[in-house]
């Protein structure tokens, strides 16, 4: 059985807001389109190595609130932890779509 992993998935309308929030914006792609190309490749790489990736929608305001509540800064580590926590929440709520081509 493949290991399920959550991948933070950002809306293009919030990309600049995300870049303005995070302390490591210099490590993010300049545009959402550039990020999307990298993210899609990451999904393919994860599948090729036996993982089962799920796109976890991330709203920047919710990420910021989560970081504030957990006492973390919204860096790459916190964003990954948030995606994992959201994946668990979605699973418990029964909102995971089992169709692999829609993840």
Q: Report domain extents, the chain.
A: 3-102
Half-sphere exposure of 44 (CA within 13 A, CB side): 6
Quick one: pLDDT at residue 11? 97
**What is the longest distance spanned by two Cα atoms in the chain?**
39
Reported pTM: 0.86
CA 94 to chain centre: 19
Quick one: pLDDT at residue 94? 84
The neighbour count for residue 77, using CB atoms within 10 Å, is 11
Q: What is the mean pLDDT of residues 75-93?
A: 93
Quick one: pLDDT at residue 97? 58
- Enter the DSSP assignment of 28: S
Please say if the pLDDT value at position 98 is more than 60: no
Residue 54 near residue 5 (C-beta atoms within 8 A): yes
Q: What is the mean pLDDT of residues 56-66?
A: 97
Question: In angstroms, rounded to a whole number, what is the distance separating the alpha carbons of residues 26 and 22?
Answer: 9
Please say if the pLDDT value at position 102 is more than 90: no
Contacts of 77 (CB under 8 A, 6+ apart): none
Q: What is the mean pLDDT of residues 55-70?
A: 96
């Amino acid at each position: 059985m493949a290991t399920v992993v959550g991948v933070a998935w950002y809306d293009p309308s919030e990309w600049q807001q995300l870049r303005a929030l995070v302390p490591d914006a210099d490590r993010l792609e300049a545009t959402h389109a550039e990020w999307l190309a990298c993210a899609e490749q990451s999904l393919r790489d994860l599948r090729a190595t036996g993982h089962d990736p799920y796109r976890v929608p991330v709203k920047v305001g919710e990420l910021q609130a989560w970081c504030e509540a957990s006492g973390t800064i919204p860096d790459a580590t916190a964003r990954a932890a948030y995606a994992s926590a959201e994946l668990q929440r979605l699973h418990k709520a029964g909102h995971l779509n089992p169709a692999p081509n829609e993840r």
